[in-house]
Amino acid sequence: MFLNENIKDQIKPVALSVADVRKSFGKVDVLKGIDLKIDAGERVALMGPSGSGKSTLLNCICGIEPVDHGSIHVGGQELSGLKRGELEKVRRENMGYVFQSFHLLPTLNAFENVEFAAQLVGMPKEHRLARVTDLLEQVGLSHRMDHLPSALSGGERQRVAIARALVHHPRLVLADEPTGSLDTESGSQVLKLLKSLSEELEVALLLVTHDHESTRICDRVITMKDGALLAG
């Protein structure tokens, strides 16, 4: 396999560790000392009302938002103190992201969208083509690989997004309300996929959701309120 094989062998099986992370915007304390650990292959659901700090936490984890205090390790790598280029590297190599509204690149077709993420980590071509084809097959879209996102249904788009989030063997997949824009049936398909693929690929999943149904695929559920975690 590819370079992540090496890393996988070396590091402890902790995909994400968040220690006493604080973040405030102006006078508003959004994150008030968050501690969270997710092991490799573990699926955690993060619930909480709107404005409880879920999105901010997610942004801090993927390094888009710097923290005021505390530390975040992704795949054993401490984020704080990294330069922008290094952060981008951590992000593209160790993380996958699934958005509520899919966020596929509109000018690339399904295959290219998935391949794009693989290209970003420099996966060699032969390996890449096989991997993309394989993944799209796994998400059930091998017959629609050359369609532009605009020609796909919501569920299909999200399945492409899942494939894209996993194509480069990330340690951690962050999924932000992945079923929020989908009907029930498509939503449960997407959840199933997330579960099976994360199990199969031993990828940690942090699933942000409002929906109790979604938490079923997770190993544990944590709830956030007013910038703090209620249960672990």
Partner 1 sequence: MGHYFLLLGIVAVGVGAFNGIRQASRSASANFGLFNQAVSGQSDFLIESPVQRLLEEDLAKLTRLSKEPDWHLVPVIEGSVTAVKNGSEDKKQLRLIGLDLLALGNLPTLAKEGLKFSDEDANWYDWLGSKNEVWVGQKTADLLEVKQGDSISFLASGRLVKMKIRMILNDPDGNLPDDLVLADLPTVQTLLSRPGELNRVEVVIDQVNRREDTAYLNDIENRLARELPQNLSLAPTQNRAADRAAMTAAFRLNLTILSLIAILVGAYLILQALDAAVVRRRSEIATLRSLGVDGSILFTTYVLEALVLGLFGSVAGVGVGQVLAFGAVGMLSDTVNALYFATSVEALNLTSIDVIVGLVLGIVFSLLAGWLPARDATQTPPAQVLARGDWSPGFSWLRSPVIGLGLLLLGGIALLFPPFVMEAGSNMPVGGFLAAGCWILGAALLSGHVLVLLAGWVRPFCSGPVFRLASSRLRDGSSRHRLAVAGLVVAVSMVTGMFQMIDSFRGTIEEWFDVRFQADLYISESGVTGAGTVNGIDPRLMDELLKDPNIKYADVMRICYAKPPRGVTVLAGVDMKHWSDQARQIWLKAPGSLQAVDGAEPALVSETFARRFGVMAGGVVELGTPDGTKKISPFGIFCDYGNEFGMAAISSDIWSDWTGSDRPINVSLYLRDRAKLLETRDRLRLAYPGLDVRNERELRDVALGIFEQTFKATDALSFIGLAVAFAGLLLGLLSIFDESTQTWQTLKHLGFSTHGFILAAGLEGAGIGVAAWVAGAITGLALGWLLVFVINVQSFGWTLLWTVPVESILWFGLLLTVVGFVSGMIAAIYWNFRR
Residues that bind partner 1 (CB under 8 A): 62, 64, 84-85, 88-93, 95, 97, 99, 103-108, 112, 116-117, 119-120, 125, 149-150, 154, 164
- Closest approach of partner 1 to the CB of residue 28, in Å: 22
Angle between helices 125-138 and 110-120 (to 10 degrees): 130
Q: Cβ closer to partner 1: 80 or 223?
A: 80
Supply 27's token pair: 């006078």
Element (H, E) at 77: strand 77-78
Q: Which residue, 165 or 197, is less far from partner 1 as judged by CB?
A: 165
Nearest to 208 by CA among 72, 44, 94, 6: 44
Residue 19 or 108: the one with the smaller Cβ distance to partner 1 is 108
Q: Which of 84, 89, 86, 144 is nearest to 113 (CA)?
A: 144
Least Cβ distance, residue 198 to partner 1 (angstroms): 18
> Minimum distance between the CB of residue 175 and partner 1, rounded to whole angstroms?
12
CA distances from 220 to 33, 131, 184 (A): 20, 30, 22
Residue 158's nearest CA partner among 167, 149, 148, 169 is: 149
Shortest Å distance, C-beta 162 to partner 1? 13
Nearer to partner 1, 149 or 178 (CB): 149
Cβ 125 to partner 1 shortest distance, Å: 8
Per the CB < 8 A criterion, the answer to whether 79 and 23 are in contact is: no
Measured from the CB atom, the residue of 78 and 183 that comes closer to partner 1 is 183
